[in-house]
Amino acid sequence: MDLVTARVGLVVLIDFEVVKISNLQRQIIHTTGVLDRPKVESARDRLRALNPDTNIELINERLDDAGLDDAISGVDVVIDGTDNFTTRFAVNRACFRQRKPLVSGAAIRFEGQVSVYHPGREDSPCYQCLY
């Protein structure tokens, strides 16, 4: 939400799931009024309410490696907040192949971490280097 209020020009949202009641405590962009809607549509509507000038593209499907490459080819930075290692490693591979900066965030209970990886720089490890 902060990127949209900061007037970022393009945001690409990728998710293939629908909003569930179990998501709401950690995915605060959604509300009970949008249960069972695709997450990308719910998020788009909320973000457009914050800034209608931001271009928001939706990808409402599970992506394989080739799909991830296509999806991130036109962006400047990738932000990953997924909740499983399989997806995190796949996103990392795509960023590594395309030399895209990756901001990776994770939280569990009352702890969280954020890391930034920039595979285009010689001195930057990637997500898989750490894990």
Rounded to 5 degrees, what are φ and ψ at 42? Answer: -60, -45
Q: Which two tokens stand for residue 125?
A: 């490890």
pLDDT at residue 8 greater than cutoff 90: no
What's the mean pLDDT in 10-18? 94
> Residue 75 burial (CB < 10 Å; 0-12/13-18/19+)?
middle
Q: Give one word for 36, left, alpha or beta, with left for phi > 0 and alpha for psi -120 to 50.
A: left
What's the distance, CA 15 to chain centroid? 8
Q: What pTM, to 2 d.p., does this model score?
A: 0.86
The predicted-structure confidence for 31-90, as pLDDT tens digits, reads as follows 999 999 999 999 999 999 999 999 999 999 999 999 999 999 999 999 998 888 999 999
